[in-house]
Amino acid sequence: MGGILALILLGGGTLPALAQVKDGNPGRSGQTLDIKPLLAPNRATVFDFYSPYCPPCMVLAPLVEKLAARKPEVAFVKVNINRPDVKGIDWKSPLAQQYKIKSVPFFMVFNSQGKLAASGDEARKIVLDWLQKAGLLER
C-alpha cells in the first residue's frame, strides 16, 4: 500500500502538503522580491536562485525536485533571476542586484525560525550534501 494512501486509510493524522519545489516569482522573474513571505512556517526553507541560461542550474533543477520529495521537513523555493527579455544569465536584473548574486545556482538556507543559516557557497555545500546523502548526486 502506498505511503500516503496507508496514512489516510490508517488514520495517520494530518498529512504535510506533498513536497514540491515552489515557484517563488511566477510572472515576476528578475524583479525584486521579498522572500520573507515565502518562508515556510516551522520548516527550514531553501531558496534556489537560478537562470534558465545556466547549464548547472538546469542539471540541478530535477535533482532538487527529487530532493524536495525526500525531505518534506524542508521547503524548497526556486527563484528565476532573469528578466523575460534578457537572453543569457541576467546579472543586472533587479533581483540579482538585490541579493548581490554573482554566480548561479545561488542558494539561501533559512532555519525553521526564519533566520538565515547559510547563503552562497556554504548553502550550496549543504544542498549538495543533502543530494549526495539522498543518493541523487555522486561526488
Give the tens place of pLDDT for each residue, 80-105.
Answer: 999 999 999 999 999 999 999 999 99
Give the DSSP H/E element, type plus range, for residue 138: none
Give 26-66 pLDDT, tens digit per residue.
999 999 999 999 999 999 999 999 999 999 999 999 999 99
Burial class (CB in 10 A: 0-12, 13-18, 19+), 11: exposed
Give 108-126 pLDDT, tens digit per residue.
999 999 999 999 999 999 9
The pLDDT mean for the chain works out to 89
Residue 139's pLDDT is 64
Residue 18's pLDDT is 56
Rounded to whole angstroms, the Cα distance separating 28 from 25 reads: 5
21-133 under CATH 2.30.30.190, yes or no = no
Per the model's pLDDT, the better-predicted residue between 31 and 20 turns out to be 31
CA distances from 77 to 2, 3, 85 (A): 26, 24, 22
| The model's pTM | 0.85
Predicted confidence (pLDDT) at residue 12 exceeds the cutoff of 50: no
Residue 6's pLDDT is 33
Predicted confidence (pLDDT) at residue 17 exceeds the cutoff of 70: no
pLDDT mean over 118-135: 97
